[in-house]
Amino acid sequence: MKDNYREFYQLMCESYLSDGVYIWEDVGAECDTLDKCLDCLAYAQTNPEFTDFRIEFRQVTVIAPSENEGDTLEVTF
């Protein structure tokens, strides 16, 4: 079976939701290299809305094709 996956770096930020509740969310696009993700981090750090950052390396794998053409089920590790 052919490996159907893509790898990328994703910048995550912790942002204030309400009443002391913070959530982690994706910031910006998926980056091919760590250097590109670090450039996104430098830009995102200028926004006071974001309080903490992390960079995740993700591998998204297609595990089952959908019955609808063009749709797929993906799992991120």
pLDDT digits (tens, 9 = 90+) for 26-73: 988 899 999 999 999 998 888 887 878 999 999 988 776 666 666 655
Tally of structural domains, the chain: 1
Phi/psi at 57 (5° precision) = -95, 125
pLDDT of the residue at 33: 95
Answer yes or no: are the C-beta atoms of 55 and 9 closer than 8 Å: yes
Instruction: Name which residue leads in pLDDT, 47 or 12.
Output: 12
